Amino acid sequence: MMSQAQTIVPLYTSIPNSIPGPNEEAVQIRGSIKIVSKVSIPTLTAYIPVQGTNTGAAVIICPGGGYGILASSHEGEDVALALNKAGIAAFVLKYRLPNDKIMVDKKIGPLQDVQQAFKLVRSRAKEWNLDVNKIGVMGFSAGGHLAASAAAHYNQAVIDNPESINIRPDFQILLYPVISFTDSLTHLGSRTNLIGNAPAPEQIKFYSNELQVTKQSPPAFIVHAQDDRTVKAENSIQFYLALMKNAVPGQLIIYPKGGHGFGMNNPTTTDRWMEQCLNWMRSNTWIN
């Protein structure tokens, strides 16, 4: 047993940008995957390593699902338990899914939730024995888009943050991520769910994370499969090239096969990206 009992933490005392209504959240199992839909009340589930194994590092995990659902088991809970085994605290983010029925401005809802997650985790770092300078973000597919957006827009808070708590991820771990909202690269379902059918050019640019990289962007570890037919591998490649251009350290793994949505285990290879990711974290001294 490498983690303590999980704790579910509400993200807000009062949810911003929300329209009151019934809680219609639903959970179902598809195959072996737990699917959460219609999220209107966002939470963090804290997975804290047992005492004596805690490295002080933490990762906020954003499951994928095209901004329409959350694949919360193989892109959330399972990953959190694996990180705990390495002494890393994990926080699975159940973020609001964009919907005009529950939000005044659905375009910023998920970004608000990931920024609030950073604010909350850093503000309670002492309680969870965390190092405030070793807190990163991880995301899968559309959750990878949200994670990369958190790393791109930390200077533009869309939440109340009067204490000026740092909401910048120290690092980003992106698995088959939707990076771009440009016509040639985007996963159209994710883009439509977040910013609508006919988005303004400035919205496309704002949410095209390869166009938002600067020299201050957090280091990145990125994994994709070349044969991914859902989210083109060029999303990760263009992002990596933007990191290189800005001298931001990055590691990119492109598997020849694996498709989309494989979670921690790409069935076409014996390689385990999580082991490479932990080595990357060690080499950057986020974990010992």
> Each residue of 43-65: pLDDT tens digit?
999 999 998 999 999 999 999 99
Residue 29 lies in a domain: no
pLDDT given for residue 4 in this prediction:
73
For residue 112, give the CATH number of its domain: 3.40.50.1820
pLDDT given for residue 51 in this prediction:
86
pLDDT given for residue 94 in this prediction:
98
Residue 198 lies in a domain: yes
Provide the percentage of residues in the chain whose pLDDT is more than 90. 97
Residue 116 lies in a domain: yes
Count the domains in the chain.
1
Low-confidence ranges of the chain (pLDDT < 50): none
What backbone phi and psi angles, to 5 degrees, belong to 216?
A: -95, 0
Q: How far is CA 233 from CA 108, 115, 131, 228, 244, in A?
A: 25, 26, 33, 6, 17
DSSP annotation of 96 = P
Residue 134 lies in a domain: yes
In whole angstroms, what is the distance from residue 60 CA to residue 103 CA? 23
176 neighbors 101 (Cβ within 8 angstroms): no
In whole angstroms, what is the distance from residue 132 CA to residue 240 CA? 26
In whole angstroms, what is the distance from residue 145 CA to residue 231 CA? 11
In whole angstroms, what is the distance from residue 159 CA to residue 124 CA? 17
| Per-residue tokens: 36 | 């959460």
In whole angstroms, what is the distance from residue 32 CA to residue 40 CA? 24
pTM for the full predicted model: 0.98
Other Cβ atoms closer than 10 A to 210:
23
Residue 86 lies in a domain: yes
Angle at CA of residue 213, ends 207 and 215, nearest 5° = 155
In 3D space, the residue among 200, 220, 264, 279 whose CA is nearest the CA of residue 33 turns out to be 264
Domain of 85, in residue numbers: 47-283
